[in-house]
Chains A and B, each alone.
Chain A
Amino acid sequence: MERSDLAVSCRGLVKRYGELVAVAGIDLEVRRGECFGLLGPNGAGKTTTMEVLEGLLTANDGAVEVLGSRWGGDDRALRERLGVQLQETQLSEKLTVRETIRLFRSFYVRGREVGEVIRLVELDAKAKARVGKLSGGQRQRLALACALVCDPELLFLDEPTTGLDPQARLSVWRILERYRQTGGTVLLTTHYMEEAARLCDRVAIIDHGRIIALGSPAELVASLGADQVVEVRARGEVAPETLAGLPGVSGVTAVDGSLRLAVREIGTLLPALLNELERHQASLEKLTTHEATLEDLFVYLTGRELRDDD
């Protein structure tokens, strides 16, 4: 009988590497059956947080509870119930898909049939192929299979789709949705806001080892107080403050020489915006608009893009 309906809870989590503070006080609660996402840029502390929760690292401070237990007790019993996919494990290239899954299956008392897991991750055609000959997306699905083979109550996934093309990403999402239908809990990290928005019931945005926003994707986007984002670049002097006063604008952020306006009513804003630019004799170079996303929230909160590449 579980006392709580929390799959993971941690309070005041701190992890330092010498001088560097990788995790600077994180509080998290992941409910059973929920898909929870940690969204953040490179070096935000996502992996460090996950590895503390997985019992691989010991925190400098804070309390962690996973499926109602703390690390340092009967860890093997706890590990029976967890599926984990680490950020950068390279499985043995010389083994086949089936051999690899069979090995991981042998570590657990309970779990799924090897063939069933292969089907679950859609690798039937590759069951006899060497791991070294798999594509990136197939390897990722194999890693997922190794995490799912114990039929875990809780799944930790560290960047399950980083570096994958959109099609491979979709197939990972499909597999996760199937797992969730069986009542499983997921804690995942990602840099992709579409991924967080699509998969997660709740998302914590992490930056510099802290949670800077927490809620369902819809709530988070709504907290911008806008449904559209207008990006403007103009030649000439336009102060962010002047644009902030325009009708329908709920916030302005300067990013890389352009201004991003969070906008409630785009219809009333656009004429006013063009007027204002003309009044300052600034010539318009670029004007784009899109629906507000988690990415915009991150930019609004930090003044930086979530991803510095691609």
Chain B
Amino acid sequence: MMIDNARFRRLRPLAELTRVRMLEFIREPEAVFWVFVFPVLLAVALGIAFRAKPVSSLEVAVAAEPAAASRIEALLHGAPGLRVHLMGKAEADHALRSGRVDVVVEASGVGEGMPQDVTYRYDPTRAEGRAAHLAVDAALEKALGRTDVLEAHEERVSRHGSRYIDFLIPGLVGLNLMGSGLWGLGFAVVSARTRKLLKRFAVTPMYRSHYLLSFMLSRLLFMVLEVAAIVGFGWAAFGVRVNGSFAALAVVSVAGAMTFAGVGLLVAARPKTIEGVSGWMNLVMLPMWLLSGSFFSYERFPQIVQPVIRALPLTALNDALRLIMNAGSPLAATWSQLAVMALWALVSFALALRIFRWT
């Protein structure tokens, strides 16, 4: 009992600092907006942008002399996934350049029902261009009598769990944990430093580690709300499901929140001005915005940089979140990502405590 009391008393400053930290946060309406409302708005915008596009058809421009054009149109009629537009040559070129059509079909005339001198013009760097070229070619060949030897079935993958929005929601969770960890802690710490509040704390017997730990703890509590807001919204608005267990999601989110709280404290450990810390935060976050696959998969970056990308804390968090939410993997499957995050959290916290500037 005595020991418990003493231990409790020793932790009271930590509890008090955490409490005060949270009071300060919820009394700052702008912070609440950026942390809770903004990611939901982002999810709405992106979700709608990608849902509004139905299973998109490929746009085909036919630019040929009239007889050839109507023959081609007739041949392509009824081909699935193709939309045919008749155009003049100049108009078709322009439409191709601006991406309004994916392929231009040209022909010089018709002989015995067969279009003559057929040319496909498309941009091979665009996936739609390549797809449209192949689809038009196959449709024409088939209409003119080609028989397929292989009989294959198609399966359209648009089940829950593999749409873009399913991919996006975990990315937004990761991005938000990074943003609120870095901005939230960075500004709070540096503002306390410019206001000489840190110096005031430094002349009290407060344990310095308690001050830093209070930020980690407050992040932990807000993390629950942030993750719940985004995941809950994704589920309610788009039916995005958590295929793995909620316990696993909680563990991964805790790891993510701790990681970015640590990194945030490290970034804020020295700067004396808000401008100074903003610069550092952008420097730290920009690579992760670009590389860590929040909006699009990072698999497309060159093989040689993949290990670097995977070592970034946001990549680890995003990957782990997707394993749990999308693939429904057990927590054990995310051990390597958890290890990466734990390493970042511990190293950055320890370093922050060492180099922290109180005056």
Which residues of A are in contact with B by a Cβ distance under 8 Å?
54-57, 76-77, 79-80, 82, 84, 86, 88-92, 94-95, 99, 102-104, 106-109, 146, 150
Q: Does B197 contact A (CB under 8 A)?
A: yes
Within the complex, which residue of B16, B28, B197, B206 is in contact with A89, where a contact is CB–CB below 8 Å?
B197
B20 → A minimal CB distance (Å): 5
Query: Residues of A contacting B204 with CB < 8 Å?
Result: 79, 84, 104, 107-108, 150
Q: Does B27 contact A (CB under 8 A)?
A: yes
B29 → A minimal CB distance (Å): 11
Q: Does B163 contact A (CB under 8 A)?
A: no
Given A56-B203, A84-B203: 4 more A-B contacts, CB < 8 Å: A79-B204, A82-B203, A91-B195, A91-B200
Within the complex, which residue of B13, B15, B203 is in contact with A79, where a contact is CB–CB below 8 Å?
B203
Report the separation of the CA atoms of residues A136 and B204 in the bound assembly, to the nearest whole angstrom: 23
A132 → B minimal CB distance (Å): 10
A163 → B minimal CB distance (Å): 16
The dominant DSSP class at the A interface is: loop
B16 touches A94 (CB 8 A): no
Known interface pairs A56-B359, A79-B205, A86-B203. Does A92 touch B20 (Cβ–Cβ under 8 Å)?
yes
Query: Residues of B contacting A104 with CB < 8 Å?
Result: 204
Report the separation of the CA atoms of residues A79 and B208 in the bound assembly, to the nearest whole angstrom: 13
A-B contact pairs, 25 of them (CB 8 A): A56-B202, A56-B203, A76-B205, A79-B205, A84-B200, A86-B199, A89-B197, A89-B200, A90-B197, A91-B195, A92-B192, A94-B23, A94-B24, A94-B27, A95-B20, A95-B24, A102-B16, A106-B15, A107-B13, A107-B201, A107-B204, A107-B205, A107-B206, A108-B204, A109-B9
Report the separation of the CA atoms of residues A56 and B207 in the bound assembly, to the nearest whole angstrom: 15
B196 touches A86 (CB 8 A): yes
CB-contacts of B228-273 with A (<8 A): none
Q: Does B12 contact A (CB under 8 A)?
A: yes
A101 → B minimal CB distance (Å): 11
CB-contacts of B7-21 with A (<8 A): 9, 12-13, 15-17, 20
B127 → A minimal CB distance (Å): 51
Report the separation of the CA atoms of residues A179 and B256 in the bound assembly, to the nearest whole angstrom: 49
B203 touches A106 (CB 8 A): no
Query: Residues of B contacting A82 with CB < 8 Å?
Result: 203
B136 → A minimal CB distance (Å): 64
Interface size class of B (residues with CB under 8 A): 20 to 34
Query: Residues of B contacting A55 with CB < 8 Å?
Result: 203
Query: Residues of A contacting B206 with CB < 8 Å?
Result: 107
Query: Residues of B contacting A146 with CB < 8 Å?
Result: 200
B20 touches A91 (CB 8 A): no
Report the separation of the CA atoms of residues A55 and B358 in the bound assembly, to the nearest whole angstrom: 12
Query: Residues of B contacting A91 with CB < 8 Å?
Result: 195, 197, 200
A89 touches B195 (CB 8 A): yes
A90 touches B195 (CB 8 A): yes
Report the separation of the CA atoms of residues A302 and B298 in the bound assembly, to the nearest whole angstrom: 71
Who on chain A is nearest to B196 by CB? A89
A166 → B minimal CB distance (Å): 26
Report the separation of the CA atoms of residues A90 and B196 in the bound assembly, to the nearest whole angstrom: 7
B195 → A minimal CB distance (Å): 4
Query: Residues of A contacting B200 with CB < 8 Å?
Result: 84, 86, 89, 91, 146
Report the separation of the CA atoms of residues A103 and B18 in the bound assembly, to the nearest whole angstrom: 10
A60 → B minimal CB distance (Å): 16
Query: Residues of B contacting A76 with CB < 8 Å?
Result: 205, 207
Report the separation of the CA atoms of residues A134 and B202 in the bound assembly, to the nearest whole angstrom: 24
A103 touches B197 (CB 8 A): no
Report the separation of the CA atoms of residues A55 and B201 in the bound assembly, to the nearest whole angstrom: 12
Who on chain A is nearest to B14 by CB? A106
Who on chain A is nearest to B17 by CB? A103
A148 → B minimal CB distance (Å): 13
CB-contacts of B323-354 with A (<8 A): none
Query: Residues of A contacting B27 with CB < 8 Å?
Result: 94
Who on chain A is nearest to B25 by CB? A94
B199 touches A103 (CB 8 A): no
CB-contacts of B132-187 with A (<8 A): none
Report the separation of the CA atoms of residues A107 and B16 in the bound assembly, to the nearest whole angstrom: 9
Query: Residues of B contacting A89 with CB < 8 Å?
Result: 195-197, 199-200
B20 touches A108 (CB 8 A): no
Report the separation of the CA atoms of residues A90 and B16 in the bound assembly, to the nearest whole angstrom: 19
Report the separation of the CA atoms of residues A32 and B78 in the bound assembly, to the nearest whole angstrom: 101
B50 → A minimal CB distance (Å): 39
Report the separation of the CA atoms of residues A94 and B30 in the bound assembly, to the nearest whole angstrom: 13
* B9, B200, B202, B206 pick with most chain A CB within 10 angstroms: B200
Report the separation of the CA atoms of residues A57 and B207 in the bound assembly, to the nearest whole angstrom: 18
Within the complex, which residue of A57, A88, A107 is in contact with B196, where a contact is CB–CB below 8 Å?
A88
**7 shortest A-B CB distances, which residue pairs?**
A106-B16, A90-B195, A94-B27, A79-B205, A107-B204, A107-B206, A76-B205
Who on chain B is nearest to A90 by CB? B195
Report the separation of the CA atoms of residues A109 and B12 in the bound assembly, to the nearest whole angstrom: 10
Report the separation of the CA atoms of residues A89 and B27 in the bound assembly, to the nearest whole angstrom: 21
Within the complex, which residue of B12, B24, B196, B205 is in contact with A92, where a contact is CB–CB below 8 Å?
B24
Report the separation of the CA atoms of residues A156 and B28 in the bound assembly, to the nearest whole angstrom: 33
A249 → B minimal CB distance (Å): 47
B218 → A minimal CB distance (Å): 14
Query: Residues of A contacting B20 with CB < 8 Å?
Result: 92, 95, 99, 103
A134 → B minimal CB distance (Å): 15
A106 → B minimal CB distance (Å): 4
A268 → B minimal CB distance (Å): 54
Report the separation of the CA atoms of residues A57 and B202 in the bound assembly, to the nearest whole angstrom: 11
B28 → A minimal CB distance (Å): 7
Contact with A along B76-106 (1 / 0, CB 8 A): 0000000000000000000000000000000
Query: Residues of A contacting B195 with CB < 8 Å?
Result: 89-91
Within the complex, which residue of A90, A106, A150 is in contact with B12, where a contact is CB–CB below 8 Å?
A106
